[in-house]
Amino acid sequence: MIILPDPKNWLWRAILNKKTKISIFKILLFKIMQKFFIPSFSLATLVHSMKPVRQNWHSIIMGNKYIYILLVIGLMPLGAVRAQIVEPEIKTMMAQATTEMNAGHFNDANITFRKMLATKKVLPTNMSYLFAETLFMINQYHNSESFLIKYMDLAGKGGDYYQQAVELQRAIQEKMMDIQECSQCNVFGYRLKMCNLCGGEGTITSTCYYCKGLGKTNCLTCQGNGVIISKNIFDVDEYKSCHVCDTKGYIVCKVCKGNNVIKNQCPDCLGSKNTPTEEICEHQSAVGPEEINVEN
């Protein structure tokens, strides 16, 4: 049976002790400095600054194994914890992707990183930056920006690639500005060409689905008879000319307006008149028969 210290005895006195408060504050300060500002900030620096009260906090912490264990876990660097839970398979794939990047094979690195994501396992924080850099090098600027933001959120200013991330963010913004100002490519930077399906019209013509291309439909008021038949009080049929179709028995199709055909939004270009190619745009004017349609 484990007997915990009586909180009314030395523990409360220790917490209320002024010097102990200062010691605990410095330990928390060390943790904050190490995580967010100075990763190399060492515990030795903290202990050196606590020499006047070192014996006090040391005796209190070492005197109770439960407090000692909690402080050891709490002071463990976050990166060390992450490194422990990253599986060997992920480490191997991470090393492979890094090697491919160093060799300039960014398309291969892209595939390796995507395999890492597909495992749905815990991934190293640095992977977000390296993947962002890889995506930038293969001109996938939107995806690169997404992973770069993720890295900045996870690592902050204390990240291993913080300075490189700032430079990459600036480069992405420049590329995005070029894309935004260019009328020859889509928002992802791929060059556009005139839509082959609609010929740059943005719409396609098809037979009216309502009248089946006839341009007219039966009058619903007279059922196509041209006259309205009703019974009078003597139960005798009475005939009146249909005022809706003017005795014709049919009316103009309300969908195609009598044109037999209708225009729908092009399913390929979604009305934009252009479709993207697999070619990265250099933000220059297009020439030739596949010149894009920039008219409204």
Domain check: are 106 and 125 in the same one? yes
Domain check: are 92 and 177 in the same one? yes
Distance, in Å, from the CA atom of 176 to the CA atom of 189, rounded to the nearest integer, reads 8
Domain check: are 171 and 235 in the same one? no
Domain check: are 91 and 177 in the same one? yes
Predicted pLDDT at 64: 47
Q: Is residue 81 part of a domain?
A: no
Predicted pLDDT at 33: 56
Is the Cβ–Cβ distance between 245 and 219 less than 8 Å?
yes
Domain check: are 126 and 166 in the same one? yes
- Cα–Cα distances (Å) from 132 to 14, 125, 135, 139, in that order, read 49, 12, 5, 11
Domain check: are 230 and 253 in the same one? yes
Predicted pLDDT at 285: 57
Domain check: are 14 and 69 in the same one? yes
Domain check: are 50 and 123 in the same one? no
Long-range CB contacts (within 8 A, 24+) of 269-275: 269/195, 269/197, 269/198, 269/202, 271/202, 271/203, 272/195, 272/202, 273/194, 273/195, 273/198, 273/200, 273/201, 273/202, 274/192, 274/193, 274/194, 274/195, 274/200, 275/192, 275/193, 275/194, 275/195, 275/196
Predicted pLDDT at 296: 45
Predicted pLDDT at 284: 66
Predicted pLDDT at 47: 47
Domain that includes residue 56, residue range: 7-76
Sign of CA dihedral 98, 103, 104, 105: negative
Domain check: are 94 and 65 in the same one? no
Distance, in Å, from the CA atom of 72 to the CA atom of 62, rounded to the nearest integer, reads 11
Q: Is residue 25 part of a domain?
A: yes
Q: What is the pTM of this model?
A: 0.51
Q: Is residue 28 part of a domain?
A: yes
Domain check: are 111 and 160 in the same one? yes
Domain check: are 92 and 163 in the same one? yes
- Domain boundary (35, 57, 76) is at 76
Q: Is residue 109 part of a domain?
A: yes
Q: Is residue 243 part of a domain?
A: yes
- Report the 10 Å Cβ neighbour count for 106: 18
Q: Is residue 272 part of a domain?
A: no
Domain count, the chain: 3
Q: Is residue 255 part of a domain?
A: yes
Each residue's pLDDT expressed in tens, for the chain with a length of 296 residues: 444 445 445 554 555 555 555 566 666 665 665 555 444 444 444 444 444 444 454 554 445 444 444 444 444 444 443 444 678 899 999 999 999 999 999 999 999 999 999 998 889 999 999 999 999 999 889 899 999 999 999 888 888 999 999 999 999 999 988 888 888 888 888 888 999 988 889 899 999 999 988 999 999 888 888 888 888 888 888 888 888 888 888 999 999 998 999 998 999 888 888 998 888 887 765 444 455 555 54
What amino acid is encoded at 51 in this protein? Answer: K
Domain check: are 55 and 130 in the same one? no
CATH number of the domain encompassing residue 99: 1.25.40.10
CATH number of the domain encompassing residue 259: 2.10.230
Q: Is residue 253 part of a domain?
A: yes
- Domain boundary (57, 76, 95) is at 76
